[in-house]
Every structure is written in structure tokens, then in C-alpha cells.
Structure 1
Amino acid sequence: MADSKSFPRVNISHSVNLPDLSKAALYRRAPELGPKILFFSGGTALRHLSETLIEYTSNSIHLITPFDSGGSSAVLRKAFHMPAVGDLRNRIMALADRSITGNPAVFELFAYRLPKDASQEELAARLGRMLTGDDPLVRHIPDPMRKIIRTHLRFFEQKRTDAFDLRGASIGNCILTGGYFNYNRMLDPVIYLFMKLVEARGVVRPIVNCDLHLACQLENGRVLLGQHLMTGKETAPIDAPIARQWLVANLHDPTPASVRIREKTEVLIRQADVICYPYGSFYSSLLANLLPQGVGDAVAATHCPKVYIPNLGHDPEQRGMTVAGQVERLLETLRAGCTRSCRTEDLLRFVLVDSKKGRYENPLDLTAIRKLGVEVVDVPMAREDEPGKADSRRVCELLLSLT
């Protein structure tokens, strides 16, 4: 048999209907044969989309930012000097099989957070019962999964000091952290195991396996160190538009840090049937994933449709930005990760908008977007009950139609 690498490769162009409901129905009948739609994202913005997507494909690819510096992840990162795992856990849970054929007891444990109003002694005692298998959340999980989970929790407990604040701690994050130490500070093995335990439908990976943070400079000159200062969730919203963004080694030094994606991440990108730059926090979720070197090159080398879906509503990070401005910044960030010049269509081909119902913060100038060399597709995407948010099923059908 001839080696598949010796087969000739040809590019085929064809027209599609948006959405192509017959194609979506076909994938829904056999999701195990569904396409590899790749997302650069983070946070919880794609939770509903991911929960819907597994009805159509078990093969989606999710490259997630590990640069979160807020919430439960911030406590773990400060204590253990590790990448953020909260967004990874969120996406794995969104892709999990929640039916009776999955592992609902494991899902329940991974989704559980310790109460915020209990004392540290009470929380430590609760964690101790989980370690021994006496806590109901652990006891109801069948072996050997129960033993695996307890082992990873034990690694976490061995690393935890008395100063570690357990209030509001995500047990799923603690299990991932224990696995991170069990596998010699590598995330991929424990993520793979985590996904098997909850029977997640897809592939989830951090864009890089490094302990780095986000930094940005506002147009007024102010420098912010840390993702949590950009989002407007834990602090006041930014008071000026973001002028530029980069990676740093810690939250005390604005010196830029450089990192390159691994070969295995390049392979995942090149396998994509569609590449999607989705809605969500524009800088800290989307563009953050594009900062490592090699992302732009891998995207440009992948022969598939590339599509940007802007937020239909408010995003504090996009202060003062039009959709055309977002497209321009997206292309700039991708090109910065390229070692050679490439065409706009190699990085981004389509921008999906809903001009009739979307609640864009600034006027939607379709002509300005087209002048950047991309094709605008104006289609219904907004939710009927909340037009500032996307309808997950409509977005799934649109992305599936591009395959």
C-alpha cells in the first residue's frame, strides 16, 4: 500500500448554504464521524456552544488559554506556580457525556466547589473525607475511577500548605492540580485522564504548558499585569482601550516573555476542518491563545475555512472597538506569530455577524470589515430571548455547514 504522504493534494472550492441543515442532521446521526472544528478560547463563553456541539461531533478541538489569574485558578497559581487549569476544567465539563451512559457521579464531583462560608478546619476535614473515600461525592463513584481520583487528590493534599485557602475551591481544579504534580508538572496526561473519566467528546489542550501571565498597555499608557485586571469581573472595567498585549513571566515584571507552541499543538491545528475564533473575552480568551510563536504559521498552513464570530453584545475588554477594529487586531496578532508573510485569507476568511438582531456596542460597518480582505456573512445568530448573546444551536449549524 502506498504511503498516504505520497498521495497528491488538491484544493477544491465549492459553495455551501448557511446554514446547511441537512448536513447538520447528518452529523447528528453519527457524531463520532463529525468534523474537527477547532476553537481558540477560554473562560465560560463557549460552555453552551460546547454542550450543544457534542450532539453533532465528538471530534472538536479546543485550545484553551492557561493564563487566567483570577478566581480559584489564581489561588492555585500563587501557591504552586503552575498554569491555570480552571478554563480547561470548564471546557472538559462542557464536553462531558451527562447521560446515564456517561459517569454522572464523576461529573458531579468535578463540578463541586467547597463552600465559601465554612471554616478552614471544616473544609480541610471535608477534603480529608474525600481522600479516604468516605465523602458521599466520592463514595458513589465506582472503582477504579474512585481510586484514581483519590490518588490525585492525595498529591494535591501533599502539596497544600496550611495557608492555602480552601474556601470556594473547585474540587475538579484540585484533582487536575494533583494530577499535574503526579505527572511531573505536565498537564496533557492528567487532562487526557480527566476527559476519559467524564467521557468528554472532543480534544482539550492548553495552548502552551507554561506558567505565564498576560500583560497589556492601555491607550492612556497604564500597564496592567494579569488577566484578572482586564476582564472587568474582579476589578473595575478598563478606563481606556487596550493598545497592545503580551506575555510575562510573573505579575511583578512587565518584561515580555516568549514561548512557542509544541509540535503536538501544531499538529492539532493542522488537522482542523474549520478554525473558529469565537466570541468571548476578546483579549484574555481569544487573542491570548494567539500570542505564542507558531500559532500564526500553523493556522496559515492549514487549508480549511477560518471564521471569526464577534461578540454580539457587551465585552468590557473591547472598549471603543468596532467589529472592523477587532478583525484588524485579530489579523495583527496572527501575523505576529508568523515567520513568513501570508495572505489574509490564509489567516481569516469569514466574519459572521447578525446585523438585524445583534447588540454590537459600536456601529456595525460591513464595508469597513470587507476592506480588510475578509468575507462578511450576515446571518441570524442572536438568541430570541437575549439578542446580546449567540444562539448556540444556530452557531453550531453554521460552523458545521462550512465543513
Structure 2
Amino acid sequence: MALLATTPPYTITTRTSAATPCSASSSRSRSLRAPGRSAASRAPRAMAAPGADSAAVAAAATGGSAPPSLLVFSGGTAFNGVVEELKKVTTQVVHVLPVSDDGGSTAEIVRVLGGPAVGDIRSRCLRLSDESTLEALSVRRLLGHRLPLDSSEAKLEWYQIVEGEHSLWDGVSRPYRETIRAFLVYFHSEILRRSVETFCFTNGSIGNFFFAGARIFFQSLDAAIFLFSRVSQIPAESLVLPVISTNDRLTLGCELWDGTIIRGQNEISHPSNGHREVVNKDCNSCTALPSSIKRVFYMSSEGSNLLHEVFPQANQTVLEQLSKVDCIVYAMGSLFTSVCPSLVLRGIGETIASRSIPKVLLLNGSHDRETIGLCASGFVTAITDSLNRTYGDPDKSLKNHPKDYVNAILVPIGGQIPLDVENLASKGIFHVITVESVVDEKVGVIFDPQSLIQALTGLIPGQMDSLQPDCLTENAKFAC
């Protein structure tokens, strides 16, 4: 992990001397060090064995002080890969997720039963779920199961599960079995009531079905999240929040720079041409957008004018948590369809700009359909424009600077996104930190989870303020 900074005239610099306070170690588990920190605070963050007490882990990781609290804006896939590593350092994490996904298993639930999309929320809840006992693992396996791609096989397996006869129930005790199965049965009864609509179980997620059954039964998305969190035994201090608390369907739209309007998250990110298939967001797996994305916004799901823009309210709990946490993170993943939908809501930009804390962008390791042609500063601009609501209603827009929203960027070594440090410096962003990476055969270069969490927690208050450009003196060249 190396720290890059830009100082007039925007020279890329890095510290290499191990004897200086702000040096970067060359070992794989490198971490940032700031001037003036005590020996105790410089101790390596502890990594615990699976099943260890979270309070003990957090205390060890922070030298006995309170564990850091973070709020993460993300979708349900890319950030999942580092959740397990993050839990070893702190469980005080607020996961803010969009509810506008209209692809895959979620799309079929929304098509037949309506309501918000729950796929991203279910995915994150599963990653946070307990794994310390055999029963916890059995519950996680059940709720994480997907039905076959063949429609007849999927329907047959679904009936075996809902009737309690499938081997997935093995290891699940009677109280858990009766609770989970009750909501699966309720979900099934609801789709049978919609006799006009034939439900397709292909590649269906059992966790999504359970979630949908709970949401409809309670008529509350928040209640469904609470139930799912308790069933999967998520740590009480870990919050999974929809950015919009609603029981209604939400539709995401985007405007391209050539004026084209695209309706639906799936059509923006990875259009499937009407086919139900496993999502592939690689930029080479689908046709390119006719123009780059200007903004995303919410569209009416009802009535004759389906292109009408609507302005849902941000979840009040999200705003409250934004005002409390020690660090705000814009996670890697689909920039415009996973991160930006949570940023364009009124109150989000206002609250983030008011905080003097680390606000960290985790830069993607590769391009997807939404970001082809963007460099690092382009990601920052997209986040800034979303939080400022720059291209929406002028009466609802803000004028904040990029540095009010992003003050550090973590970059996976070997990634595809160009680092235009001069442009970043012109936006007031001087802290660009390279983090060790690994290659995933499906998506390419991604952050090494342990290195990422070390770098991220190294930016928590007490360290960020001391990382000034003037303490970085040795010139170095940087290549992605």
C-alpha cells in the first residue's frame, strides 16, 4: 500500500523511508502511519479467528479504544467480498443499499408482487449472518440457495423446500424451521393469489422469497429487514438500511449526455433483452451505451406518464447515522446504479458535506458498461454531481465542492481506471492510496480484502488530519 499525493505543481510523490513517521511499509499487510501517534496506536490491527467475540476483536483491533464506525454506500455484490474481513475489525457498520434493482430473481418478485427490490439487502444480510454454529451455517445455506436455471426443475425444487421436504432443512432446528417456512408459505400463497401472473422460479433466491413474504406480511420493509437480521443472527450493531424506506415499487432511470433516457436499473447496467439469466456486468458482455451517463434519478412506476421524475424521501435513519459515524465510504461496484441512487436523495448531500470526517472512495479495479472512458476524477465528479443533484431540479441542487464529499481514494494496484492526479488535486483531493490487489477470474482486478480494510481503518479520525502533502517528499512514478 503506498500513499500518493499531489502538491503544486502536482508532482506524484510517495514516502519510502521506513524511518520516517509517515512511511509506507513494503510488506503485504502494510498500513498507514501518521506523525505523533503513540506506540500503542501504531500496533498492527488484530485479526481474529472465525467465531471470536466481536467486542474482544474490536478492542484488540483498536488498541483497547472504541471500534470505528463506518457508513458504506454500496450495492449488494462488489462490497460483499470484504464484509468478512471488515467484521474482524468492527461490526459498527451501517450498510446503505438501494431498493431499485429490477433484474434477476428480484425482477420476478417485483413484477408479480410489486414493492421495492430486496435482492441487494438480502445479499448483504447473508454476508453479515452468523457462521459460528452448525445451525447458523444451515440457515445461511438455506437462505443463500438459488433454484436451478431450468424452469421445471426450479419449480419442483421450490415445492420440496416450501413443503419442508428438501435436504436444505437438515440442521435447522424446529423453531427456526417453522419461522422461516411460515414466511415461505405466505410468499407462495401470495403468488398463487395473483392467478393472472405466472411466477417463474428460475434461478430464484430462497432468501429473496423469504424476504418478500415477510415484507408483504408486515407491510413494512423495515420489519422484514429486522426479521431477516434476527433469523440470520446479524450483530446488533451492524445495520442494513434501505436508502428509501418504502413498501412501494421504485424505478431507477438515467439520462445520457446525448439526451437519451433509459428506464430501469437492469437496462442501464446489464440489459438482458428479456432473457432471465445470471447477471454479467462486464463491459464486454453487452452493448455499449450510446452516450455516457449524465445523471440517475427516480421515475414514476404508475400512471400513463412513466417517464415522470419523482422525488422519494431518504430514509431518516440513514440521515441520522450519517451524522454519527466516523467514516463514510463510497464502495466499489456499479457506480451509477449501485452507489449514485443512494446519493441523489435530498438530505444526503447536505449531511455528508457538513461532516469533517474521512470520506473515502474505493475505486473500481475495472470498467463496466456504466463507466467506460471514466478516469478517477470522473468517478469523483459523478459522486459530486449526484450529491449536489446538479442536473435535476435547480431548486433542489447544491453547490458543494468535490472535496466536501471525497477526501481520500483507495486504488487497487493494477486496476484499469486511470489515476489523473492533477485533476484530482484541482478538486482538492490529495490523498490517493494504492492497495494490494488480487485477480478474480470473473471480474478482473479487485482489492485484496485484508489490505483494503487495513488501509480503510487507517484513515479513521486521529490519522487522516496528519496525512498532509507536505510530509511526502520523495518523487516516484506511478503506473496502474
Instruction: Quickly name the TM-score band, shorter chain normalised.
Output: 0.7 to 0.9
- 1:52 pairs with 69, 74, 85, which one? 85
* CA distance in structure 1 between the partners assigned to 2:135 and 2:329 by the alignment: 28
* CA distance in structure 2 between the partners assigned to 1:385 and 1:178 by the alignment: 34
State the 1:118 CA deviation.
Answer: 4.4
Moved over 6 A (4+): 337-340, 384-387
Asked if 1:372 corresponds to 2:408, the answer is no
Contact conserved, 2:250 with 2:301, CA < 8 A, in 1? Answer: yes
* CA distance in structure 1 between the partners assigned to 2:123 and 2:154 by the alignment: 23
- 1:320 pairs with 373, 387, 391, which one? 373
Contact conserved, 2:101 with 2:107, CA < 8 A, in 1? Answer: yes
Q: Which amino acid aligns with 2:58?
A: P
1:62 alignment partner, SS class: strand
Q: Which amino acid aligns with 1:332?
A: D
Q: Deviations over 1:46-81 (max 9, x none)?
A: 111112211221221100011111111111111111
Structure-2 change in CA distance of 1:24 and 1:204 (3 Å): same
**What is the match of residue 348 of structure 1?**
406
Contact conserved, 2:252 with 2:265, CA < 8 A, in 1? Answer: yes
**What is the match of residue 189 of structure 1?**
223
Asked if 1:141 corresponds to 2:179, the answer is no
Contact conserved, 2:410 with 2:435, CA < 8 A, in 1? Answer: no
- 1:83 pairs with 83, 92, 116, which one? 116
- 2:205 pairs with 170, 189, 198, which one? 170
1:22 alignment partner, SS class: coil
The aligned length equals: 384
**What is the match of residue 9 of structure 2?**
none
In the TM superposition, 1:3-402 aligns within 5 A as 18-19=31-32, 22=43, 24-25=45-46, 30-31=57-58, 34-100=67-133, 103-119=136-152, 123-161=154-192, 163-184=198-219, 186-201=220-235, 202-210=238-246, 211-232=249-270, 234=272, 235-250=286-301, 253-336=306-389, 342=400, 344-354=402-412, 357-361=413-417, 363-383=418-438, 388-402=445-459
1:109 alignment partner, SS class: helix
Q: Deviations over 1:335-368 (max 9, x none)?
A: 22977655544422212235xx33224x421011
Contact conserved, 2:97 with 2:120, CA < 8 A, in 1? Answer: yes
User: 69-78 vs 161-170, which deviates more?
Assistant: 161-170
Contact conserved, 2:438 with 2:445, CA < 8 A, in 1? Answer: yes
Structure-2 change in CA distance of 1:270 and 1:339 (3 Å): farther
Contact conserved, 2:71 with 2:95, CA < 8 A, in 1? Answer: yes
* CA distance in structure 1 between the partners assigned to 2:253 and 2:342 by the alignment: 13
Contact conserved, 2:358 with 2:407, CA < 8 A, in 1? Answer: yes
* CA distance in structure 1 between the partners assigned to 2:288 and 2:121 by the alignment: 25
1:302 alignment partner, SS class: coil
1:140 alignment partner, SS class: coil
Show structure 2 runs of 5+ residues with no match: 1-21, 25-30, 34-41, 49-53, 60-65, 273-285, 391-395, 461-480
Contact conserved, 2:142 with 2:206, CA < 8 A, in 1? Answer: yes
* CA distance in structure 1 between the partners assigned to 2:104 and 2:140 by the alignment: 21
**What is the match of residue 11 of structure 1?**
none
User: 77-86 vs 382-391, which deviates more?
Assistant: 382-391
State the 1:26 CA deviation.
Answer: 7.7
* CA distance in structure 2 between the partners assigned to 1:72 and 1:16 by the alignment: 48
1:378 alignment partner, SS class: strand
State the 1:232 CA deviation.
Answer: 3.0
Contact conserved, 2:135 with 2:171, CA < 8 A, in 1? Answer: no
The structure whose residues are more often helix, as a share, is 1
Show structure 1 runs of 5+ residues with no match: 1-14
User: 342-351 vs 107-116, which deviates more?
Assistant: 342-351
TM-score (norm 1): 0.87
Structure-2 change in CA distance of 1:353 and 1:193 (3 Å): same
Structure-2 change in CA distance of 1:297 and 1:101 (3 Å): farther
Contact conserved, 2:125 with 2:240, CA < 8 A, in 1? Answer: yes
* CA distance in structure 2 between the partners assigned to 1:43 and 1:384 by the alignment: 20
Contact conserved, 2:141 with 2:168, CA < 8 A, in 1? Answer: yes
* CA distance in structure 1 between the partners assigned to 2:169 and 2:23 by the alignment: 49
* CA distance in structure 2 between the partners assigned to 1:315 and 1:300 by the alignment: 28
State the 1:103 CA deviation.
Answer: 0.4
TM-score (norm 2): 0.74
State the 1:288 CA deviation.
Answer: 1.2
Contact conserved, 2:365 with 2:445, CA < 8 A, in 1? Answer: yes
* CA distance in structure 2 between the partners assigned to 1:308 and 1:346 by the alignment: 13
1:160 alignment partner, SS class: helix
Identity %: 26
State the 1:399 CA deviation.
Answer: 1.2
Aligned alpha-carbon RMSD (Å): 2.7
Structure-2 change in CA distance of 1:113 and 1:366 (3 Å): same
Q: Which amino acid aligns with 1:199?
A: Q
